[in-house]
Amino acid sequence: MIRRILAITVKELLQLKRDWRTALTLLGMPVILLLIYGYALSFDVRDIRLAIVDLSRTSASRQVAQAFLESGYFDAVAHPDDTRALDALFDAGRVQAALVIPAELGGDVAGRRPTTLQFVLDGSDSQSANTILGYARQIVAAVAPRLIDVRVAAPISAVPLVWYNPDLESSRFLVPGLVAFILMVTSVIATALAVVREKERGTMESLRATPVEAIELLLGKTLPYLLVASGAAAGSLTLAWALFDVPIRGSLLWLAAVTILFLAGGLGWGVFLSSMAETQQVAFQLSLLSSMLPTLLLSGFIFPISSMPTFLQVISHVVPARYYVAALRELVLKGAGPELWWQDAVALVAYGAVVLGLATVRTVRSL
């Protein structure tokens, strides 16, 4: 049995060497997609176009305005004399936010009285508006002690302490999920297309005359792609560390083991889909629909699963990326041991067993 599996594995490796398209899909696409999405996909907002309406024109107001500019988030693009000009600026899309400093700021600061700054936002992009509002609150909280020696608003203050991602960089949250998304999509598509391509060429017919069991054929065809996909995963995680400053705090051996479990399930799903498709076009469509959308929407990659409706939370349990993303974040960001993610690993094993079982049954029927 082992010799037959190895023979099929060697045959598939030679086929991969000749079939540069499949090899490029498995090795090159994860790197290319990680570079594109890693830089393009971010919840951080930079270079915010800010209008500053300084009605106070005092030393205190200048300190407030300077604090916004020195934060690195805001660019002052307009300094209107009063608030009446803001409508035109927002309507024309010239500004995303406006800071209105009241005329009484200087007197309030000198008299140690509470004062209020107005911060106007363009709410047409609610995601960015929420992020910008958070920046503004942090800046005001930081500049207030420099204006007066005693805090007026409250005698008790809260000092934030953020673990695992102290700078709250969205890339450290998104990139591990992005790696899972890319590996799932590319492994499923590449495997499904490769097997269907052999169907179209008629090479699968020759296997009927050989004493090869379905499970041997399945393992022999999957192992080469697992090796190549594992190399792609290692390259993707290395890029995540080198380019996007994503720390890898956990054990590399555990990380490799969980990644192989995830890839095995993805490759098995690709083989299963190939058994239902007769053309590469159909295989591509099935692969894309069954891997990209569930991984993107139901894995917790972008949207928290806990905030989804109950029926979607239930459906998400059959999405393997849900478990890999959770385990990956535990390993990469927290450096956690198996005691915190073993359930995710068990779920990946169960998924892989079910998918490979289904693929074996379909392969038996097709031989």
In a domain, 242, yes or no: yes
Query: Is beta strand 97-101 parallel, antiparallel or unpaired with respect to 48-54?
Result: parallel
The DSSP string of 148-186 is -SS-SS-S--------S-TT--HHHHHHHHHHHHHHHHH
Q: How many C-beta neighbours within 10 Å does residue 57 have? A: 12
Residue 183 lies in a domain: yes
Residue range 312-321, pLDDT digits in tens = 999 999 999 9
The residues, any chain, with a CB within 8 Å of residue 157's CB and separated by 6 or more, are 151
Three-state secondary structure call for residue 54: strand
Say yes or no: 108 and 69 in one domain.
yes
96 Cβ neighbours under 8 A, 6+ residues apart: 48, 49, 50, 121, 122, 128, 132
Average pLDDT, the chain: 85
31 found inside a domain: yes
| Residue where one domain finishes, among candidates 92, 115, 147 | 147
Indicate if 30 and 106 belong to the same structural domain. no
Whole-number Å distance between alpha carbons of 156 and 140: 16
Mean pLDDT score, 329-344 = 91
Q: Of 147, 182, 198, which residue constitutes the final position of a domain?
A: 147
Q: What is the mean pLDDT of residues 163-178?
A: 82
Indicate the burial class of 196 (C-beta count within 10 angstroms; 0-12, 13-18, 19 or more).
buried
148 pLDDT above the threshold of 70: no
Residue 144 confidence (pLDDT): 81
> Mean pLDDT, to the nearest integer, of 112-121?
86
Q: Is residue 255 part of a domain?
A: yes
**pLDDT at residue 80 tops 90:** yes
Here the tokens at position 224 are: 């080469």
360 against 298, higher pLDDT: 298
Residue 217 has pLDDT above 80, yes or no: no
Exposure pattern of 271-309 as b/e (b: 16+ CB <10 Å)?
A: bbbbbebeebeebbebbeebbeebbbbbbbbeeebeebe
Q: Can you tell me the mean pLDDT for 346-350?
A: 97
pLDDT bucket at 165, cuts 50 / 70 / 90: confident
Contact between 355 and 268 under an 8 Å Cβ cutoff? The reply is: yes
Residues 25 and 62 in one domain: no
326 and 259 in a common domain: yes
Could you tell me which residue, 200 or 178, shows the higher pLDDT? 178
Residue 154 has pLDDT above 60, yes or no: no
- Verify that 73 and 27 share a domain, yes or no: no
Q: Please indicate whether residue 55 or residue 150 has the higher confidence score (pLDDT).
A: 55
Q: Of 85, 116, 147, at which residue does a domain stop?
A: 147
Residue 162 lies in a domain: no
Same domain, 26 and 93: no
Judgement on whether residues 232 and 314 belong to the same structural domain of the protein: yes
Q: What is the CATH number of the domain that holds 139?
A: 3.40.1710.10
284-305 residue pLDDT tens: 999 989 998 899 889 988 888 8
* Domain presence at residue 261: yes
Q: How many domains does the chain have?
A: 2
3-state DSSP assignment of residue 98: strand
pLDDT at residue number 188: 92
pTM of the model: 0.78
Quick check: 129 pLDDT over 90? no
Q: Which domain holds residue 134?
A: 48-147
- 233 and 342 within one domain: yes
Q: Are residues 292 and 332 in the same domain?
A: yes
Q: Spell out the residues 6+ positions from residue 75 whose beta carbon is closer than 8 angstroms to its own.
A: 47, 48, 49, 50, 69
Question: Which of 2-11, 53-62, 275-284, 326-335 is least confident?
Answer: 2-11
Same domain, 186 and 310: yes
Residue 69: CB atoms within 10 A of its CB come to 14
Tokens standing for residue 326: 């959770």
Same domain, 27 and 59: no
Measured CA to CA, the distance from residue 246 to residue 329 in angstroms comes to 10
Structural domain contains residue 21: yes
Residues 247 and 322 in one domain: yes
Answer yes or no: is 315 within a domain.
Answer: yes
The pLDDT of residue 325 is above 70: yes
Task: Please write the tens of the pLDDT for every residue from 197-212.
Answer: 877 777 766 666 667 7
